[in-house]
Amino acid sequence: MSDKYGYCNDYNSDSDSESKLKDKKHNKKHEKKHEKKHDKNDQTNEPNQIVNHTCSPKYIVNKPNTKLNNIGISNAMSDKNNKMEPKLVNQSYNYAYTPQQIRKAYGIDQLVPIDGDTQLGAGIKVGIIIAYHNPYIQLEMDTFCANFGIPTTTVNVVYANGVKPKINVEWGVEGDLDCMMIHAISPGATIYYVEAKSNYTSDLLSAVRYAVDILKVDVVNMSFGGSDMINTNTFINPNVSFIASSGDTGGVISFPSSHSNILSVGGTSLYFDNATGNYGKENVWKNAGCNQSLYYSKPAYQNGIAQLNSFNKRTTPDVSSVGDPRTGVFAYSVYYGYITLAGTSASSPILAGMIANANYYRKNLNKSMLTTVSGAPNDIHNYIYKTLYSNSIAYTSGCFNDITSGKINNQSATINYDIVSGIGSPTYKLIIALSNDLI
């Protein structure tokens, strides 16, 4: 690598050393038992809906061979309902980007609240869809914010089916990352932490519908995925933006990201300019999910993209953001302390926070909320593909950083749109454009 660009805080381990946390709660024996008990009436009646179809969180944690200090562990272990042992992860300030660095990288620090408000995103509701229960999410958010010198916020925990789900550590860490990244980007947004009773896809989709129909959220974040499938009754509200991670298996499509009414977010490696400390460049992260859907036809907003002429199905991602574990982000868990988290589970909530900020400005202009539902006049997809990209102003306007290096399997990033990074990584100028240009 050129000396011009630097890794986050001198972190330089090989990406091949990435290690995914495994969900011990869902081994084959448990899944068979769960499937027998699962209420068939709670399934969505969709083609290709598999009864035991599950989704997995899309984050990666770096685990150097150094034990952390036992901060928070005695507290966590006192919960009798939790059967899992904490995994010890390096507690270090030398391995990840801070919230302030992520804000600076994408220009969020250039945005200011409207007169009378103290925080960007005030009045906008973001629903984080998560499986299982995390009893420590508020403590973790408070600790994270205090450490990095940012105001904390209330995490509104909601049980999607009315009953507290079982505790699950890995999904709890996923929720930590989602909450902390969204709050870093849109600190004034109201966060609803919507807990599905399990990671069965039907339960997660029920939680999405609860967030939209009952909580009336403006933005939905889904940092999880499973094998591609058809769903027609969930992502349909024309006043809601649905954001999802593209997945952490290089070159593989992932649902719900594959759905045409969702903004799919891929992953990048993010580097700063060593001389200025500003954004330097991004490369495609080699393990980010991408490809064409098995089921969803090419949406109208992707017609006319020369690079997609040979495809007849929906392709993902639409956009990208930091996700490579070598350039990961800080998060806090009572089980692990401060850890480096990454994957497209970091990418998706960054975009969710950006959309929340755009909605914040739109609300103060008495405009309708943005949506990712195709065909609506305030559709984000149509704007970024047709208004910006097709008119050759996506990059000249500064709304996107063009990702031109890196590859996933045999697919390389190129100038302009490509299937591995989509249009590129959005900046604060896209937030301004979405606020002003769409009706």
pLDDT, tens digit, 9 for 90 and up, residues 149-168:
999 999 999 999 999 999 99
Residue 226 CA to residue 223 CA, distance in Å, equals: 11
In this predicted structure, the answer to whether residue 21 has a pLDDT above a threshold of 60 is no
User: pLDDT digit string (tens) for 309-340?
Assistant: 999 999 999 999 999 999 999 999 999 999 99
Whether residue 342 is predicted with pLDDT greater than 50 in this model: the reply is yes
pLDDT, averaged across the chain? 84
Has residue 245 got a pLDDT over 60? yes
Asked if residue 367 has pLDDT above 80, the reply is yes
The yes/no answer on whether domain 5-27+52-436 falls in CATH 3.40.50.200 is yes
- The string of pLDDT tens digits covering residues 35-52 is 344 343 333 333 344 345
Q: What is the pLDDT of residue 20?
A: 35
- Residue whose pair of structure tokens reads 């209420």 in the numeric block: 39
Greater confidence (10 vs 132) lies with 132
For 372, the 3-state DSSP assignment is coil
Neighbours of 344 (CB within 10 A): 34
The pLDDT > 70 percentage for the chain reads: 78
Closest CA to 176 of 36, 16, 313, 339: 339
Per-domain residue ranges for the chain?
5-27+52-436
Distance from C-alpha of 224 to C-alpha of 347, rounded to nearest angstrom: 11
Cα separation values, 429 from 109, 250, 300, 370, Å = 12, 29, 25, 16
pLDDT of residue 62: 54
For the cut 90, the answer to whether the pLDDT of residue 77 exceeds it is: no
pLDDT level of residue 397 (50, 70, 90 thresholds): very high
Q: How much is the pLDDT for 437?
A: 87
Burial of 291 (0-12, 13-18, 19+ CB in 10 A): buried
